[in-house]
């Protein structure tokens, strides 16, 4: 078993948390941050887009509510619909190139999840063979998406803050931002 899969399985062990998995993915290079050209005062149209994209994610239980009897088919369908809605929302010219690139990263990560999930026969439920691997894939996707959302929240503040963003993950991203910005 590779190190990434092992670290994702760790989240189901007693005493391990999602933040432990997040830290391991960051340490392994699975999640990278680029706070480069963060614009704290985006144009209104960019701020509206970012807000709508974040809330497209925040409104879908698939991104924040992992449960044992998750139905992979419905999850994949919801992720596909979210990706399409985000793609539509991101169209047009952006004044904030950093935010645009981060939204492209979100789309890429959603696409990667869909590609990986569709490479194998989806398990029907948690009793089927392959469900653990699917659950690991979903956990990593959620962490990647929420990490990108946290970057947007750090940059744009409460105007775009979702309800379901894990506070401990947001704090970790704020620490990374502080390291990269010298604050």
CB of 147 closer than 8 Å to CB of 173: yes
Q: Is residue 160 scored above 80 in pLDDT?
A: yes
Q: Of 57, 138, 139, 41, which is closest to residue 90 (Cα–Cα)?
A: 57
Burial class (CB in 10 A: 0-12, 13-18, 19+), 46: buried
The residue segments making up the domain with residue 172 are 42-181
Q: Is residue 88 scored above 80 in pLDDT?
A: yes
Query: Total structural domains in the chain?
Result: 1
The answer to whether residue 37 sits within a structural domain is: no
The answer to whether residue 36 sits within a structural domain is: no
Cα 92–chain centre separation: 23
**How far is it, in rounded angstroms, from Cα 104 to Cα 149?**
12
160-171 per-residue burial string, b: 16 or more CB within 10 A, e: under 16: bbbeebbeebbe
* pLDDT tens column, 97-137: 889 999 999 999 999 999 999 888 888 777 788 788 888 89
Is the sign of the CA dihedral 87, 91, 96, 101 positive or negative? positive
Confidence (pLDDT) at 23: 56
The answer to whether residue 66 sits within a structural domain is: yes
pLDDT: which is higher, 9 or 76: 76
């Amino acid at each position: 078993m590779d190190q990434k899969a092992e670290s994702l399985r760790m989240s189901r062990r007693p005493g391990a948390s999602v933040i432990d998995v997040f830290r391991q993915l960051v340490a392994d290079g699975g999640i990278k941050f680029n706070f480069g050209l963060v614009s704290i005062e985006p144009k209104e149209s960019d701020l509206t887009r970012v807000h709508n994209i974040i809330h497209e994610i925040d409104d879908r239980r698939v991104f924040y509510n992992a449960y044992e009897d998750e139905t992979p088919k419905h999850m994949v369908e919801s992720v596909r619909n979210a990706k399409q809605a985000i793609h539509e929302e991101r169209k047009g010219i952006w004044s904030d190139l950093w935010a645009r690139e981060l939204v492209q990263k979100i789309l890429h990560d959603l696409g990667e999840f869909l590609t990986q999930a569709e490479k194998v026969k989806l398990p029907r439920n948690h009793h089927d063979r392959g469900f653990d691997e699917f659950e690991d894939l979903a956990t990593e996707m959620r962490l990647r998406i929420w990490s990108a959302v946290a970057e947007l929240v750090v940059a744009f503040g409460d105007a775009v803050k979702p309800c379901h963003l894990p506070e401990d993950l947001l704090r970790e991203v704020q620490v990374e931002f502080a390291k990269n910005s010298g604050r």
